[in-house]
Amino acid sequence: MSEIRVRFAPSPTGFVHVGSLRTALFNYLFARHHHGKLILRIEDTDQTRYVQGAVENMIKVLSWAGLDYDEGPDRGGNFGPYYQSQRLDLYHDHVQRLIDADQAYPCFCSEERLQSMREKQAAHNLPIMYDGTCRHIPTDVARKRMREESHVVRLKVPSQGETVVDDLIRGRVAFRNNLLDDQVLLKSDGYPTYHLANVVDDHLMQISHVIRGEEWLPSTPKHILLYQAFGWHTPQFAHLPLLLNPDRSKLSKRQGDVAVEDYQQKGILPEALINFVALLGWNRGDDQEIFTLEELVQSFTLKRVNKAGAVFDLHKLEWMNGYYIRHIKEERYLQIGLQWMGKLGLDSGNRQTNENILKAIRPALNTFADLPEKTAMFFADTLNYEEEALQWIRKEKSKEIFSRLLKELESYPQLTVNDFGSVMKGVQKSTGCKGQDLWMPVRAAITGMTHGPELPLVLLVFGKNKITRFIKQALNL
RNA sequence: GGCGCGUUCGUCUAGCGGUCUAGGACGCCGGCCUCUCACGUCGGUAACACGGGUUCGAUUCCCGUACGCGCUACCA
């Protein structure tokens, strides 16, 4: 087999859909696994939907996710340009070839006529498709009208036989030709439709495998017919299962976050999102669920891609993100955490202290967006005591613990995390309290709560002055 | 309406005719760990859509039904 070349071909219509990311990922994994090439191609053929900055955004997201490609708008390559809007001449030439070969024809039908045609078809429960009116216009007449009238160009789909898609994931799927529409190839504004541009570019860019979402399966026979009309070999197709909303409809805005940018803002790590999304419709066949990108590359095959759509379960994503937060190198965790604290305006005024805060809450953190909530106790100047905390503070023995603690504290001008062991041991000795009876009053007095991160870590962040202040305050409750 | 795809615990999934009293993960519940929460750890909960075939034997193969979804644009 010749070289493996796949492409990721998004439309620049704004944010990056997580479904797009998954498609990009699978293409990436397939390319890398087979030592082939991945091409990024921008399908900007719909001028009405184009969004400024969307391409830059797309590129940024791919880079964030760690998905690098070999050819693309910002990377060059021998098969450019990689913007379809810059390939218009190519499409025109190819359409002309099709018309000359009687494989396509101009259509002059107005929007209104098509509209009423569809209404009639719907009323009679007939399949809704172009009725072929302009198919039979004599060539010379058509040629003349083309110069004068607004028109589109349609593919002349055979009325007999069937077209078979041999899908790498779904197997053989057959479509009857007479139920295939005469697809518009060239719009009246001179831009190609997805179908034309896609086929022409995939051929010209020597794409060997078309890996895309399942929503494209119904139009694939038209694409195959197009390849045949041009006399080209068809690439292999693989249609990925859809990503679904909790109600099992196609994953969409309105039912939650679908943009990769949304997840970035939630404080999801790229490795977590990638890992999670890789498992939506693919698994290795064993029990492993945590994969690095490299492991995914090694393990990925189309054979193990599922057919059924997969619900995007935010719960599991957040769990997985928490897993990554706890397992990435501490250095990286701190670096990212510090960035987030800065962004969120969470600052103790001291970098070391900020790091200590991050270390203290690490086991409880699932996303970085939870930072304000999880770190709130470290930034509070006054305490709101929980009822249960007050009960601990007001226990008989507590006052004694507090007094002893204050006394012990005096002998430590500077407090380190290790000192706490000694301090608390000292308190334990002099009061006879231990375990919960010893620690809970202290926790309650200092945080106003009966739960939270490990106390030594909390105390380390608070420092001697704040601890002393809160303990004294508790003494008067 | 037409065409197409799909259907194993609530969710992601393993299973490729007997190994299934159906395995793992998230969630949920409980135990342990522990000053608490979390983490970790151990255990529990929960599924083969339905009906026909084929077969000695179907979660696994075939057909049908149901349900879900996708497509049905001069959007991709």
Instruction: Decide which of A426 and A192 is more confident.
Output: A192
Which is more confidently placed, A416 or A285? A285
Task: Return the pLDDT at A477.
Answer: 76
Mean pLDDT to the nearest integer, A66-73: 97
Percent of chain A at pLDDT exceeding 70: 99
Distance, in Å, from the CA atom of A5 to the CA atom of A79, rounded to the nearest integer, reads 12
**pLDDT for the residue numbered A411:** 78
Å between CA of A160 and C1' of B64:
28
Report, in ranges, which bases of strand B sit under 7 Å from a protein C-beta: 1-8, 10-15, 23-27, 35-40, 68-76
Q: Is the pLDDT reported for residue A1 higher than 60?
A: no
Give nearest nucleotide to A311 (CA–C1').
B11
pLDDT of residue A447 exceeding 90: yes
Least confident of A104-108, A210-214, A334-338, A444-448: A444-448
What domains does chain A contain, in order, with CATH numbers?
88-240 (3.40.50.620), 329-375 (1.10.8), 387-475 (1.10.10.350)
Q: How many H-runs (helices) and E-runs (strands) does chain A carry?
A: 19, 11
Which run of H or of E encompasses A104?
strand A104-107
- Residues A393-435: pLDDT tens digits? 888 888 888 888 888 778 777 777 677 877 888 778 887 778 8
Give the bridge partners for A375, in sequence order: none
User: Catalytic residue at A253?
Assistant: yes
CA A469 – CA A465 distance, rounded (Å): 6
Per residue in A8-33, pLDDT (tens digit) is: 999 999 999 999 999 999 999 999 99
Q: Alpha-carbon distance A357 to A371, whole Å? A: 10
Nucleotide with minimal C1' distance from the CA of A456 is: B35
CA of A445 to C1' of B43 (A): 36
Contact A252, A258 (CB under 8 A): yes
Q: In Å, what is the separation between the CA of A361 and the C1' of B49?
A: 45
**pLDDT interval class at A476 (50, 70, 90):** confident
The reply to whether the CB atom of residue A453 sits less than 7 A from any atom in nucleic acid chain B is yes
pTM of the model: 0.94
SS3 A155: strand
In tens, the pLDDT along A320-330 reads: 999 999 999 99
What is the rounded distance in angstroms from the CA atom of residue A381 to the CA atom of residue A399?
A: 22
Alpha-carbon gap, residue A431 to A254, rounded angstroms: 59
Least confident span in A153-162, A335-344, A426-435: A426-435
Q: What is the pLDDT of residue A421?
A: 79
Strand B within 7 Å of which CB atoms in A 160-199?
A: 170-171, 173-176, 179, 181, 184, 187-189, 191, 193-194
Describe the crossing of helices A417-431 and A396-410 by its angle, rounded to 10 degrees.
Answer: 130
Nearest-CA neighbor of A304 among A172, A167, A169, A166?
A: A169
User: Using CA atoms, how far apart are residues A374 and A357, in angstroms rounded to an integer?
Assistant: 10
- The arithmetic mean of pLDDT across residues A148-174, rounded, is 95
A120, A144, A253, A425: which is the annotated catalytic residue?
A: A253
pLDDT tens string A128-147: 999 999 999 999 999 999 99
Rounded to an integer, the average pLDDT of A328-343 is 97
Of A116-120, A364-368, A404-408, the one with minimum mean pLDDT is: A404-408
Task: Please give residues of chain A from 390 to 429 whose alpha-adjacent beta carbon (CB) lies under 7 Å from any atom of strand B.
Answer: none
| Residue linked to tokens 């002893």 | A404
pLDDT at site A8: 98
Strand (E) positions, A243-352?
Answer: 243-244, 310-311
DSSP label of A463: H
Tokens 């993100």 found at: A321
